């Protein structure tokens, strides 16, 4: 899976949220300052070529929808982060975030409960 640029990820976040959208719908959701129509259209076509989105014709236009689920992309991104920055160790990653982000005991216990619930 090819990594997404920040702009591509912003568009994907909107498509994951809306599930189906044309370029105007995407622009309406994006924060100010709004990008140009042609910019968003180009990014969506890049996402299509990367295999992240597909489209269906609707009248003279296209309605785009994500092919890749947000959770699948999140999992892949997290695994890449762990491999590239923490030598494949989730323990190292968690330790880093606990130390650098001042996570309190209640938050850490909540994370542990969530992990235990999913096992």
What is the per-residue pLDDT across 55-114, written as a single tens digit (0 to 9) for each? 999 999 999 999 999 999 999 998 999 999 999 998 888 888 788 877 778 888 888 888
Residue 112, helix vs strand vs coil:
helix
Evaluated on CA atoms 35, 36, 40, 43, the torsion sign reads negative
> Is-above-0.75 flag for pTM?
yes
pLDDT at 62: 97
Q: How far apart are CA 71 and CA 77, in angstroms?
A: 10
Domain boundaries defined on the chain: 6-66, 86-119
Strand ranges (DSSP E) for the chain? 53-58, 61-66
Is the peptide bond preceding residue 33 cis, with omega within 30 degrees of 0? yes
The class of domain 6-66 in CATH terms is mainly alpha
Higher pLDDT, 18 or 110: 18
């Amino acid at each position: 899976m090819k990594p997404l640029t920040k702009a591509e990820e912003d568009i994907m976040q909107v498509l994951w949220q809306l599930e189906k959208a044309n370029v105007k719908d995407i622009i309406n959701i994006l924060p100010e300052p709004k990008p140009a129509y042609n910019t968003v259209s180009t990014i969506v076509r890049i996402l299509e070529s990367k295999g992240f989105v597909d489209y269906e014709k609707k009248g003279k236009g296209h309605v785009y929808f994500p092919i890749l689920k947000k959770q699948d992309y999140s999992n892949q991104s997290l695994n890449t982060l762990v491999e590239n920055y923490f030598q494949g160790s989730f323990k190292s990653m968690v330790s880093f975030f606990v130390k650098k982000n001042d996570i309190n005991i209640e938050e850490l216990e909540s994370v542990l409960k969530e992990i235990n619930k999913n096992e």
